[in-house]
Amino acid sequence: MSLFGSFKAAALDLYRGVLLTPLWWRVSIEQTVTRYRRSLLGPVWMASTTLATAFSLAIVFGSIFGGDAKDNLSFIMIGVVGWSITGGILPEIANTFVNAAGLMQVRNLPLSFHAFQQMSKTFINFLHQIIGLWLVLILMKLAVIPHWTLLVNLPIALLTGLFISIPLGMISVRFRDINYMVGFVAQSLFMLTPVFWKRTQVPESMRWIVDLNPFSHLLEIVRQPLMGAAAPIHDVQASLAFLGVAALLTLISLTLVRTRVVFWL
């Protein structure tokens, strides 16, 4: 097949994935329900785990950095939940095709189908965490009305995760050590991203760590609307640029190695 033909097949793969939206959405819901079957609290456990981490970080680092305790608590808790849909999904999406190996070997579905399904499950889990977060914030009288830009910014974060999952998932299938390396990178990024600290708390000479970290911008376009404010325009622009790069990498990877992935499983 020519290069143009491979590129056309790659674009068609994404298009077929979109057409199968009812299928992968239904499968994601059923897998989520199955995961919590015979559990009394179900998805509350997942939300509780994230919120417990956020609350612990807020107590510890809020006291270290000083400032208003309530503001710190809200900032850090929303930051941890926002991280779960941005950089925190890296280890999970790296296994997109590895986890779907059984289905891929018996059904001829577009590769993008599995990426869409993975991100839809991530989105469902995020909704659980948001509900739990708002219940906690309401009880603590810290809840605010989310800014309307969340309706635009959240799809940007989800699409970025989708486009990252395809090339990253392909590499992880070919070289299985990548799965472990991504977990290490995600932990490092968590510390280097302003999840529980603010950019202004970093010396001016070191702020390039935040500015050159695309996940810090993705985090802010999710966190700021959840805190009731519009995200800074430079964070939105940087996130859109990162989305464009991720989309380009997806098209390149689908064009070059789309037909080989199933044989690497």
Cβ(264)–Cβ(187) below 8 Å = no
In angstroms, what CA-CA distances link 1 with 13, 157, 166, 203, 248?
15, 34, 21, 53, 20
For residue 62, the model assigns a pLDDT of 64
pLDDT digit string (tens) for the chain, length 265 residues: 667 678 888 889 899 999 999 999 998 888 877 777 666 555 666 666 666 777 777 777 666 666 565 667 788 888 888 998 898 888 888 888 888 888 888 888 889 999 999 999 989 888 888 887 887 778 778 778 889 999 999 999 999 999 999 999 999 998 888 888 888 888 888 888 888 888 887 788 888 888 899 999 999 999 999 988 899 999 999 999 999 999 999 999 998 888 888 888 7
**pLDDT by residue (tens digit) across 124-144?**
888 888 887 887 778 778 778
pTM score, whole prediction: 0.88
Q: What is the pLDDT of residue 39?
A: 62
The pair phi, psi for residue 2, each rounded to 5°, is -70, 165
pLDDT on residue 6: 80
Encoded tokens for 7: 């590129």
- Output the pLDDT for position 156: 95
Q: pLDDT tens across 38-58, in order?
A: 665 556 666 666 667 777 777
**From CA 47, how far away is CA 37, in angstroms rounded?**
16
Please list, residue by residue across 38-53, b when 16 or more beta carbons sit within 10 angstroms of its beta carbon and e when fewer do.
eeeeebbebbeebbeb
Is residue 95 a contact partner of residue 169, using CB atoms and an 8 Å limit? Answer: yes
Q: Please tell me the predicted confidence (pLDDT) of residue 187.
A: 87
pLDDT of residue 257: 86
What is the rounded distance in angstroms from the CA atom of residue 158 to the CA atom of residue 165?
11
